[in-house]
Amino acid sequence: GRFSAKEAFSKATGYGIGEKVHWHDIEILNEPNGRPIMQVKNFRYKTYVAITHSGDFVNTVVIIERLTILERLSLKFFPKRGVL
């Protein structure tokens, strides 16, 4: 599931994996309730990920959303540490 989420992200951006984004730049974590979250190093857009399994099959959806002007200004003046 996590591998397919990284692959879905690479396809959603159109970059693929390689020069701009590497496998180790993409991290799939879990919130306390188990919901997956995606963090991508030096990527300044919101990412949403859904992963579902059924038997030997996995389905993954990644949505990329542009930050609002307020969110972009917030990152400019109050940058987060680590991955975004």
Catalytic residues: 11, 53
| Calpha distance 50→9 (Å, rounded) | 11
Helix (H) or strand (E) holding 38: strand 36-40
